[in-house]
Structure 1
Amino acid sequence: MAIYRQVQTSIWADNWVGSLSPEEKLVWIYVMTNSRTRQCGVYEFAMRYAVVDTGLTEQAIESAMEKFQTDRKLLLSKSNDEILIINWLKYNSARSPKVAAVIDKEIADIKTKEFADAVIDECHKLKYPIKKIKASEDTVSIPYAYSIDTGSQEEPEPEQQPEPEQQPTEEAGGVGADDLTDIFQAWENVWGTMSPLTQEKLRDWAKDFEHKTVIEAISRADANNKAFSYAEGILRRWDKSGIHTMAQVVLDDQKHEAAVQQRQYGNKPRKQLLTNQPAWADPNYKSKPAEPTDSATRAKLEAEMAKLRANREKRHEEQKKRREENAK
């Protein structure tokens, strides 16, 4: 199965990324997208592979990694050859129980205890449904400002923290950020980890539909055990019919139900058809007691029954003879 790593297109508008040299930009993209990355944001970094994959020298990669640490973008444990990408979990959602289960497994494989504790703390902070807890709650978690490998590098001078940027409350096209989060979570609850391409598709759909309508299409695909393409087909049909809100969806469902009944029962209302049903179909129907018959009528009926029995026995005998003749 293909593995995707999410890199938002807005990365190229980021001031920090814009300040990097071409080599540093390549290393940063490599750090986030190479085949050894994991869902938890901690993985073993192999310099020999990085040199081959990027085509850069070891010195150039080490210089870039040192800058990333100084700028508080990642942490490095040289003793375990592991790195932790800060804010990875913030931009790679683990709200889906399936994704959270993957992170639980990965945490057990993290060699650097401080990194494992940092991942657990961040997941709890973001309210991701992981089951792991820190081995010891009295352990002091690592500060993001420094590398784990404190013995091999000097502690950086504290610098003034920039004002945190306000997160936009709405996306382009008037889509609320919370609404998009609900849509993404609904998708991940059904199909697991979301690729960047799928995320862009959902953003586009959310621009044209009320967010609850997009979630409803996902729910209907899930109810029918279908893929996301099924939900997209529903959205395309609604869009073609001018349906973009849940109120319009409900009205469309009612019209569809009325059309189905029209095809089944014609112009007559269903209640009228039920009133024309035979008396014995009524749940409260009680059969009338049989009227007594006289002796002559009974004798006639018995004669008819005797004649029928005789004819039946005669047919059975004829069939038996034919079978015996065919068997010879």
Structure 2
Amino acid sequence: MAKYRNVHTTFWEDGFVLDLTPEEKYFYLYLMTNSNTTQCGIYELPYRVIEMHTGYNRETVQKLLQRFVEYGKITYNESTKEIMLNNWAKYNFINSPKVKKCIEKELLAVKHIPFVRSYVTSLEQLGYRIDTVSILLGEKSEPKVPNTSNGEGSIPYPYPINTSSIDYGEEREEEREKEEEKEEEGEEKKVGQSVGPSTNSFLEIKNFFDSTIRISNFTDHKKMDMLLEFYPDHLLIIEAIKVTADNGKSNIEYVEGILKNWAIEKGINTYADWQLKEAKPNGITKGHNANGQISANSKVHAGTSIDAFYEQLERDKQAWGG
């Protein structure tokens, strides 16, 4: 999973952020986007690392951390040097198996178990579950760390949180793209499956297009599926693909234009119609020679009508801003 963080543009308009000093805004962004951050919002961040990243001295680092603890935005454990971004799950959790698996792995690496319990509890309150972590929590014990019961070492979490509802985009954009890709893959499968008995017809059209013109893409497949709805006789569509290739065109819209032209000007709506009105008695398409190649004169004649139709279509699209 790519290691980057997105910050929503409304971050700068949030009431809490507007009241921060420039130094605090910078530090808040740092806490959400530094190289140690994780999908779950709990990560190790020693003082010396903050000093190296930000250029602040130890005193300034401690002052800023304490300030954001008081703001209710973070909790910091000095014993394990871990930080938890409070309510990170509320605004950045992505309920997908891949992301859950990543979060489980991260949580199992967290040393300060109360952070894990707090995170899992927040997920349950939001209606999400990470069952694996919930089970392992009963087996995983708190690591041996110096006693902090006297208040030293662990910076307390002082009061309830009212974190602003900003989507800080914890790898959300990448996950959204992956979800869209999955949806497209699902739709593409539907394209091949939704035609039912004519699934083989779709594959024949696709394979012929791929071998004759170019490798088809998802948009082409949707168009092919649509053409099959209007022209169920797939052999007619294949003939239109042949003419498209003969005329040196490479887009599926040209195939559609040929079919429309045949239907409107010649009443050709099936392969049988095409055989009667376009094909020669020996089975060779009009305008083709005995080797199946289109002759120069016939190519000009055969392409004139459809070229004019396609050019008019382009003019209409431009006139309407298409």
The TM-score, its normalising length taken from structure 1, stands at 0.50
Distance 1:198 1:102, change over 3 A: closer
Distance 1:32 1:51, change over 3 A: same
Residue 93 of structure 1 aligns to which amino acid in structure 2? F
Matched residue, 2:134: 133
Structure 1 residue 257, shift from structure 2 partner: 5.8
Residue 196 of structure 1 aligns to which amino acid in structure 2? E
Matched residue, 1:41: 41
Residue 173 of structure 2 aligns to which amino acid in structure 1? P
Matched residue, 1:263: 237
Cα deviations across residues 262-296 of structure 1 (Å, max 9, x unaligned)? 23589575799xxxxxxxxxxxxxxxxxxxxxxxx
Distance 1:75 1:222, change over 3 A: farther
Distance 1:57 1:92 in 2: 31
Structure 1 residue 256, shift from structure 2 partner: 6.6
SS class of match (2:133): coil
Structure 1 residue 261, shift from structure 2 partner: 4.1
Distance 1:255 1:196, change over 3 A: same
Residue 3 of structure 2 aligns to which amino acid in structure 1? I
SS class of match (1:133): helix
Matched residue, 2:109: 109
1:54 equivalent to 2:21? Answer no
Distance 1:255 1:97, change over 3 A: same
Distance 1:264 1:253, change over 3 A: closer
Distance 1:119 1:250 in 2: 48
Distance 1:149 1:127, change over 3 A: farther
Distance 1:222 1:47, change over 3 A: farther
Asked whether the 8 Å contact 2:51–2:58 carries over to 1, the reply is yes
Asked whether the 8 Å contact 1:41–1:84 carries over to 2, the reply is yes
Distance 1:194 1:254 in 2: 40
Distance 2:232 2:25 in 1: 60
1:252 equivalent to 2:226? Answer yes
Distance 1:198 1:94 in 2: 8
Query: Unpaired runs of 5+ in structure 1?
Result: 138-147, 169-183, 185-192, 203-212, 225-232, 244-248, 273-328
Q: Which structure has the larger Rg over C-alpha atoms?
A: 1
Asked whether the 8 Å contact 2:72–2:158 carries over to 1, the reply is no
Distance 1:257 1:69 in 2: 66
Asked whether the 8 Å contact 2:75–2:85 carries over to 1, the reply is yes
Residue 262 of structure 1 aligns to which amino acid in structure 2? L
Residues 11-26 of structure 1: pairs in structure 2 closer than 5 A:
11-26=11-26
Cα deviations across residues 27-65 of structure 1 (Å, max 9, x unaligned)? 111111111111111111111111121122222222221
Distance 2:77 2:125 in 1: 23
> How many residue pairs were aligned?
209
Distance 2:175 2:99 in 1: 16
Distance 2:62 2:237 in 1: 73
1:196 equivalent to 2:173? Answer yes
Residues 159-308 of structure 1: pairs in structure 2 closer than 5 A:
194=171, 196=173, 217=184, 219-220=186-187, 252=226, 254-255=228-229, 258=232, 260-264=234-238, 267=268, 269=270
Residue 17 of structure 2 aligns to which amino acid in structure 1? V
Asked whether the 8 Å contact 2:43–2:82 carries over to 1, the reply is yes
Structure 1 residue 253, shift from structure 2 partner: 5.8
Structure 1 residue 91, shift from structure 2 partner: 2.4
Structure 1 residue 75, shift from structure 2 partner: 0.7
1:120 equivalent to 2:94? Answer no
SS class of match (1:83): strand
Distance 1:154 1:33 in 2: 21
Greater RCO, CA 8 A, separation 6+: 2
Residue 38 of structure 2 aligns to which amino acid in structure 1? R
Asked whether the 8 Å contact 2:84–2:115 carries over to 1, the reply is yes
SS class of match (2:20): coil
Residue 236 of structure 2 aligns to which amino acid in structure 1? Q
Distance 1:217 1:136, change over 3 A: closer
Residue 133 of structure 1 aligns to which amino acid in structure 2? S
Distance 1:216 1:57 in 2: 49
Cα deviations across residues 282-315 of structure 1 (Å, max 9, x unaligned)? xxxxxxxxxxxxxxxxxxxxxxxxxxxxxxxxxx
Structure 1 residue 154, shift from structure 2 partner: 8.8
Distance 1:55 1:222 in 2: 53
Distance 1:123 1:92 in 2: 11
Q: CA RMSD in A?
A: 4.6
